Chain A
Amino acid sequence: MATFENLSDRLTATFRNLRGKGKLTPADIDGTVREIRRALLEADVALEVVKEFTGKVRERALGDEVNKALNPAQQVVQIVNEELVTILGGQQRRLEFAKKPPTVIMLAGLQGAGKTTLAGKLAKWLVKEGHTPLLVAADLQRPQAVQQLQVVGGQAGVPVFAPEPGNGVGNPVKVAKEGVKEAERKQYDTVIVDTAGRLGIDSELMKQASDIRKAIDPDEVLFVIDAMIGQDAVTTARAFQDGVDFTGVVLTKLDGDARGGAALSVASVTGRPIMFASTGETLDDFEPFYPDRMASRILDLGDILTLIEQAQSAFDEDEAAKVAEKFATDSFTLDDFLKQMQQLKNMGSIKGMLGMLPGARGMREQLDNFDEREITRTEAIIQSMTLRERTTPKLLNGSRRVRIARGSGATVTDVNQLVARFEQASKMMKTVAKGGVPQVPGMGPIPGASYGGKKKAGAQKKGSRSGNPAKRAAENAALVQGGAPAAAAGSGFGLGGAAKAGGPSEVELNSLQKFLGR
């Protein structure tokens, strides 16, 4: 989707023009500020917030701090980054739990913002954190909202309090109140109250929301807002602030390509922190929101911290150590490779992970062409092998390969390529394990990444790639044109696209880091 550049794309492009300059003229700054304004507007940041933001940036950029700086362009980037972080809430805030349980959390927002799904995600997250939540179905408006919450609660393994059938029947204020009582009785330590979606201008329903708030006196009121929302974010946020006076914000559907300007708008206008981000279809796609990281992401510094955390939680350290050992002793088999790949899949969408890498700007298009199903196909091939074949790939003669191809719905060429690439990669990994440095494009030093697993996996996939840039470019082109046979050359391990995409990221990362003086 090349026509739709992200906010970070726009800002990066803007700053690229500034980069070469030693001294900024007021005209330079005006031009930059105009670009920032446009980028923010296209990112759906509310107009009044844009005006305030660009005003501040301009004022500071014209001031002494820029002129005295060694590299004024760098300074402007710093200013933009700082202002973004300031608006996004400065620092992260955690949920506040009541001194005397239960902690009551109320959810409110527009229709379709994702409240019910979020209730399930929040509940599951709380369970993971060692709490015992109770879900309360106080959305009695939307058809089958109660049933939806019950299903979601079932998936999260959390009980749902739903005394009323919904579909317009029942009094939500009463249900909410009884829900809290129920939690006290049965000693749940948190209560999540799902309420009906309502418009900011619907005074009757806003009154109802405010009545619910009064009745249950929640410790946290979370305003749930869709990351795709446009200029209306401000009006709506104000209406909900007046109506239910929320204490925190949850941003949903962040896994889309919306530029998330709403985050800036809401935080700026209401002064309430964004506490959580919801990033996918399953109940686990939910994480605390990190304002500084979001700002870095906007500035295209990537979201390295989140990436590392995700990788760490999914990657089994012991397993990684075992694999490293195997590499060193040359006993790494296709079976191990399969296991690694499955671990990689556990980390979630590879595309999503790569999107968090710094410099992802340049890779986004390549990412679009990267097919995650390729991994599944490779998996199928390996799973069609007998255990013996997996441990001793040398066994794989012609007729075995034909059988495997037939069993996995692949062609013999695919099988051949997989085996060839596996051999190449394990050779390369041996070098790494023994302390050598292979020709790995892409993987720059990740700050704070001292764990072994991820690096191995990263090197593993990249290891299968040709170091020759011309060749890579050719493969790229082939992939873009969807040429399946040619693509196979880069996707034997199903990770060709990833490796390619990694290519520019080191350059981008280094220059950006240098550029920002980090």
Chain B
Amino acid sequence: MAGFGTSSSSSSSGAARTPWSLGGALRGMFARKSIDDDTWIELEDALLGADFGPDVTDAIVEQLRDKVAKFKTTDPADLQRMLREVIEERLERLDSTLTLSNRPAVVLVVGVNGVGKTTTIGKLAKFLTNYGRSVLVGAADTFRAAAVEQVATWAERAGAQVVRPQHPGQDPASVAFQTVQKAIDDGIEIVLIDTAGRLQTKSGLMDELSKVRRVVEKLAPIAEVLLVLDATTGQNGLAQAEAFIEHAGVTGLVLTKLDGSAKGGFVLAVQERTGIPIKLVGQGEGIGDLTGFTARVFAAQLVN
């Protein structure tokens, strides 16, 4: 399936307010006449404040210092442009296209508690049905109270079918298996599997995820494992990503809640440290508030 990075038009319409831009923090800095020591301190503060984390912040500041020295510029506007380029360049290194060419294309959605997995599934299902694909949602979060009903409500809104567990507390792997089996039997193109939120430190629950993966692979290869990350998360996002990559074989990241004041700078570190690209971005509670990830748009909204 083609990349979904084309839908940036909808997000750029919101660029005027961009609640998650560094804007406020950087405005003072770029309004200055020339680049001085304060500029660098403010830049560092702004990046730290956007959750880039001390390591990435140091690296970016270092890179910009080199650039400024190389081009012998003293104009803060140049610095602003360079900052945008540096962030964009770093984000762009990986391919953010969703691969959904298998039939059925099985997508496993994983993450810690409360990041928005179920909501993301609802939006993604809508996104795919808009493209005329048939979608089947597997409600494999059999742990949290009313999670099955929640994902079913979303699926209904998106016009997708749902496979529910036969009894509460059923093994999530078996729900996933039945879902994929049904998709194969009914010729449904895309399968989205919701899983229960789990903290990455719970090894038993992480093993359960590996099991879901193993069991599904008996029927069909898994096309994508999407790790949902909450933009308000801080540096713990890295720990989350590494653990989920190890146990669930994550192939792409989804950054949610970008409509808030959080900037989600930690994803840059996640992407660089793990080599897993950001593929989707969630920006609201509406069913249409999910877009493909484009580095250019993300960087521009962050910096401008």
Contact = CB atoms under 8 A, between A and B. Distances in A.
Contacts of B88: none
B207 to A, nearest CB: 9
Nearest to A369: B203
A35 B199 CA distance: 28
A201 B261 contact: yes
Nearest to A148: B146
B180 interface: no
B230 A256 contact: no
Interface residues of B, number: 50
A231 B234 contact: yes
B146 A228 contact: no
B243 interface: yes
Interface of B is mostly: loop
A17 B246 CA distance: 34
Contact of A4 (B234, B238, B285): B238
A268 to B, nearest CB: 15
Given A47-B45, A141-B285, A144-B150, A1 B259 contact: no
Interface residues of A, number: 55
Given A148-B145, A151-B146, A42 B54 contact: yes
B48 A41 contact: yes
Interface in A2-54: 3-4, 38, 41-44, 46-47
A152 interface: yes
B271 interface: no
Contact of A236 (B114, B259, B261): B261
B260 interface: yes
Interface stretch (A121-129, A258-266, A402-410, A495-503): A258-266
B166 interface: no
Contacts, number: 155
Q: Which residue of B143, B149, B154, B261 has the most chain A CB atoms within 10 A of its CB atom?
A: B261
Nearest to A51: B45
B232 interface: yes
A372 B201 CA distance: 13
A262 B257 contact: no
B263 interface: yes
B114 A111 contact: yes
Interface string B253-270: 000010111110010000
Contacts of B114: 111-114, 226, 253
Interface of B: 19, 45, 48-51, 53-54, 112-116, 122, 143-147, 149-150, 153-154, 199-204, 230-240, 242-243, 257, 259-263, 266, 285
9 closest residue pairs by CB, A with B: A230-B234, A112-B114, A44-B234, A151-B145, A232-B262, A148-B146, A143-B153, A144-B150, A147-B146
15 contacts: A4-B238, A42-B54, A42-B235, A44-B51, A44-B235, A112-B116, A112-B230, A142-B150, A144-B146, A151-B145, A228-B237, A228-B240, A230-B233, A239-B261, A372-B204
